[in-house]
Amino acid sequence: MVEIKFCGMTRAEDARQAAAAGARYVGVVFAGGPRRQDVSSASGIFAGLPAEIERVGVFGREPPEAVAAMARSVGLAVVQLHGDPTAEEVEALRDSWGGAVWAALRVSGTELPARSRELFGVADAVVVDAKVDGALGGTGVALAWEPLAAPLAALRSTGLAKLVLAGGLGPENVARAVTTLHPDVVDVSSGIESRVGRKDPARMRAFRDAVRSVEGAR
């Protein structure tokens, strides 16, 4: 089953709606951007979520010790490094953090970056997202899925990392994305919003239904 991550939460009520809509992962952003949260606000957003929902924090280029301290304070299950991390930076975080580490692989065009193979070898999951200058994520820009399908399939055969697909997903296109790339997790933020930072419950449910429709057709 393809798992769903609803990210970029700014309100506790949106996080609860995400859980009700079937998300396995609910995320907040500690890196820059309009959805940025701090430890206090993130703790409030996550409060009241069912225990089975995995809390994810998205970080930029913060030092590993600071990331680990924030993750423990908020009770995260997953730390997502979205600042173009190297394999060495993933391993450095593991010295301070005992939870799962996801590493973003931001792609421009139709070729994977040179560090792709190393990330798939060390991270618990690799988040493939569109690279947009001046932004770490949540831009609504989609990847060129078809040209990336074969290279990603080859990489996945070399490591145990999950493939998390992000970048421009929404209820209208996620079924095609799942059919093309067969990710383990689909990750969406702006594609389920009524405006920046405000999630739309109807779009969350529609996104879930689109993902499940593909699974039902298999």
Residue 207 CA: distances (Å) to CA of 58, 75, 163, 175:
21, 27, 18, 9
Check if the beta carbon of residue 101 is closer than 8 Å to that of residue 58: no
pTM of the model: 0.94
- pLDDT (0 to 100) of residue 131: 80
Among 2-11, 55-64, 134-143, 183-192, the minimum mean pLDDT is found in 134-143
- Cα–Cα distance for residue pair 10/38, rounded to 1 Å: 10
Would you place residue 136 in the very low, low, confident or very high pLDDT band (cuts 50, 70, 90)? Answer: low
Structural tokens at position 174:
């996620």
Q: Report the distance separating Cα 48 and Cα 29, nearest Å.
A: 18
Residue 140 banded pLDDT, cuts 50, 70, 90: low
Amino acid at 202: A
CB atoms within 10 A of CB 160: 11
61 near 83, Cβ under 8 Å? yes
Find all residues with CB under 8 Å of 48, minimum gap 6, and list them. Answer: 12, 15, 16
Give the residue numbers annotated as catalytic, written as ranges. Answer: 7, 129
